[in-house]
Structure 1
């Protein structure tokens, strides 16, 4: 009996000592201040356009594929000395941010980070994310001019800690140069460069770091991955083409290497035409005749609606744009679907969008003609 008591006491002591040891290690790491001691790297599943290195004391370095790097300094911690000249220092918390990327807005909204946004380069009427619109109506977010012609005087007066822009900034280097001249930090949201839709969602983890919402970001990503994993990805054999049309009559077909083609494949569809620019993302421009020859035998067509003023609801409206459309197989069979106008601003729920595509191409009746992100042209 005494021997058992001694063993029990010894085990208790080991547990207590182990706990103190772990607490000591944790507190030692937390006490790291003003220096960078590498700890680990974030393991990403799909995203390929950013990396994150974790340092003791809560410091992190975010590196984008475009070569820019950002050091996040935890609240209450000192900025390390002798940093690389190209390292942009972001002192947390970020509470005064200018938002020039709608896809970033989608991710930030769904992880609860929208309160940090005070300025935007998007006009009120161009927002389809309800919470952003509501924040502008309430005066919490102010329009600061378009992304390529922002009000520099207002930016200088407001002094945002960070500007988050889309990749469109690449075509306006003079704007980026002006930000540098004014001493304003800018981060380009490269989520749109991700070829896998879940890679785009995984950018939530980057914004989770910037706005102390890492758990929320992980939860969002896990939820969307679960939605995709739950879809029967076995090919339906149905061919699906995705395109949009501009007001001048040009048609833009999504390339086979584009993320939207990947969404169709994850939904059980076969992207059409087979192997169409499979090594390219983005779109290919076509005239009406070339588009007709390309799309004529597709089982389904998804019309991507970028219009802010005109939303198609009828097949006749699509045919009115070009009589050739009337002879397309998908049009004849009533298998043309359109994205909602909010589509191009949504990144956080791409898993649910894939689920909608799956429903659209597998539904045997018209019970699902109106989904969250898609609706059938009638």
Structure 2
């Protein structure tokens, strides 16, 4: 019998723990240069259709990337002016007089990125050979990029928040692409002061699954591959929409729970988060879909049991890979019907050779594949021959 006592829901910020990110919330500062609007009129470009955090403007012989969603509560936009390296020296000097966060000549030939979510964009655009440095190689899952690491082509740069500035500056890349969690990053400020352009990428902030994937266009501009980036995204978008349409035609939407315990707290995605949206688009009834927020919710295991004991499916039980480990850590897990009926699915089994989770790296770039994974498990009759890319049934 369900208690009539209302459960108190407490919202916690994404920064509090990496464990929260493991519950479908992905990893992913402010530039030290003051940001101002260019002194020339910007020609708006309708090339960005899903992402909310950036825009691209074509101004003739240079383009402007305007980033407004580098991190939550960003106060001012970052404006990056991108000019073709083939322009005359005089014209380059004129453009560099326009006030901006950074000026970049393209196509860039060497780049440092700081999030694994940036790696797939470089690979899909065919420019991974330009990657010369990355903080903490162990997080990278892609075999193609790992092969370049083994060959000594990608320098180890430490950790993102305390990236080795000396080594990075010695590498002297054409550009460094970072991400911000709370705002200013002191290491990035030092790199920018050395004369290396620092750009902030906010793919992780997007809550629309297709919005995350559209950040490939950010990299497309840097490498002069806008047409390729547009084409890649268009295919992902089309595939996602078609799969969503297929799933929305189901007669019954199964109930779905998510997350798991960390210490004494159960963390799961908020109703407006991208994981919740993915479940909805896959034809699932996420039990916390009505909660407001885009981060994670912290609950007691008793309140989750009260609401989700009879849930049909359990999607992403943190980084658990087996039922035995779940039950060993907390016997209460075994009381959920999704546990008893073996209807739990995890992304924790797909790892790179050094332990990096493929989901964290590739899922934001390929929401079409994540959606197909979910549809395959929630509605087996819709995609019976599909081979899941990220999720697998929880092991025994």
Q: TM-score range by the shorter chain?
A: 0.7 to 0.9
Distance between the aligned counterparts of 2:226 and 2:387, measured in 1? 34
Deviation at 1:189, TM superposition (A): 1.6
1:206 aligns to 2:188 (yes or no): no
Deviation at 1:376, TM superposition (A): 0.8
1:349 aligns to 2:366 (yes or no): yes
Q: What is aligned with 2:229?
A: 217
Structure 1, gaps ≥5 residues long: 1-34
Q: What is aligned with 1:146?
A: 159
Among candidates 57, 60, 76, match of residue 56 of structure 1: 60
Pair 130,150 (structure 1): closer, same or farther in 2 beyond 3 Å: same
Deviation at 1:220, TM superposition (A): 1.6
Count of matched residue pairs: 333
Q: Deviations over 1:32-55 (max 9, x none)?
A: xxx967554133221010011101
Pair 349,359 (structure 1): closer, same or farther in 2 beyond 3 Å: same
Among candidates 120, 132, 135, match of residue 106 of structure 1: 120
Deviation at 1:94, TM superposition (A): 1.1
Question: SS state of the match for residue 58, structure 2?
Answer: strand
The structure where helix makes up a greater share of residues is 1
Deviation at 1:276, TM superposition (A): 2.5
Distance between the aligned counterparts of 2:237 and 2:86, measured in 1? 35
Pair 305,136 (structure 1): closer, same or farther in 2 beyond 3 Å: farther
Distance between the aligned counterparts of 1:274 and 1:218, measured in 2? 32
| Alpha carbons 1:245, 1:251 under 8 Å: kept | yes
Deviation at 1:108, TM superposition (A): 1.9
Structure 2, gaps ≥5 residues long: 1-38, 69-73, 351-356
For residues 33-48 of structure 1, what are the structure 2 equivalents within 5 Å? Answer: 38-48=42-52
The structure whose RCO (Cα within 8 Å, separation 6+) is larger is 2
Question: SS state of the match for residue 233, structure 1?
Answer: helix
Q: What is aligned with 2:16?
A: none
| Alpha carbons 2:56, 2:65 under 8 Å: kept | yes
Distance between the aligned counterparts of 1:301 and 1:160, measured in 2? 44
Q: Deviations over 1:242-277 (max 9, x none)?
A: 32544x353320111001111111111122224123
Question: SS state of the match for residue 85, structure 1?
Answer: coil
Distance between the aligned counterparts of 1:134 and 1:300, measured in 2? 37
1:329 aligns to 2:346 (yes or no): no
| Alpha carbons 2:136, 2:158 under 8 Å: kept | yes
Deviation at 1:172, TM superposition (A): 5.9
What TM-score results when the alignment is normalised by the length of structure 2?
0.77
Pair 181,242 (structure 1): closer, same or farther in 2 beyond 3 Å: same
Question: SS state of the match for residue 262, structure 1?
Answer: helix
Pairwise CA RMSD of aligned residues?
A: 2.5
Deviation at 1:230, TM superposition (A): 2.0
Question: SS state of the match for residue 61, structure 1?
Answer: strand
Among candidates 65, 69, 86, match of residue 76 of structure 1: 86
| Alpha carbons 1:240, 1:302 under 8 Å: kept | yes
For residues 84-163 of structure 1, what are the structure 2 equivalents within 5 Å? Answer: 84-123=98-137, 125-163=138-176
Which of these two proteins has the greater Rg computed from alpha carbons?
1
What TM-score results when the alignment is normalised by the length of structure 1?
0.81
Distance between the aligned counterparts of 2:135 and 2:391, measured in 1? 27
1:259 aligns to 2:274 (yes or no): yes
Distance between the aligned counterparts of 1:217 and 1:304, measured in 2? 33
Deviation at 1:85, TM superposition (A): 2.9
Q: Deviations over 1:203-248 (max 9, x none)?
A: 11111111122222112211211222222132541122232544x3
